[in-house]
Amino acid sequence: MPMAAMFDRQAAGQGLYQYSSEFALNVPDRVNVYLSSQYEQVQERVINFASRAIYFFGFTDLEMTVDTLQTFYNARFFSLFLGLVLTIVLTAIFILSTLLLYSLLLISVESRNFEIAVHARTHTHTHTHTKHTH
């Protein structure tokens, strides 16, 4: 006896509730759906998929829970907090690097001015010294 016929005979005597109590579905292209930083976008896409799936399977016979959305809801502020911390750190690094470059350029200019002043002063002393000896 073929397996399908055996299953049909068993299913005819019992309700389908005897065979499965729950099943799981994955959202198509779920990586791209879940990578969105906006919780509302993720929620909209998952709810749209779940609504179509529950309608297809029969919404009167099923009870649906979307545990993934609860996890995303609990962590919805984490990405905002992480972005804020990253922005603050990058701003601080930018300010520090700007100050460092400014101080390096200022020291370079000051040392060059000092070299020119020392050179000019020694050059002037040499000329005045040679004038006095003549």
Overall pTM surpassing 0.85 (yes/no): no
> Given this model, what pLDDT does residue 89 score?
97
Task: Provide the residue ranges of all domains of the chain, joining segments of one domain with +.
Answer: 19-74, 76-134
Highest mean pLDDT (candidates 21-25, 38-42, 84-88, 118-122): 84-88
Report the C-alpha gap between 98 and 94 in whole angstroms. 6
Q: Which of 33, 40, 27, 29 is nearest to 80 (CA)?
A: 40
Residues 87-107 have pLDDT tens digits of: 999 999 999 999 999 888 888
Residues 40-66 have pLDDT tens digits of: 888 888 888 888 888 887 777 777 788
Report the C-alpha gap between 76 and 71 in whole angstroms. 9
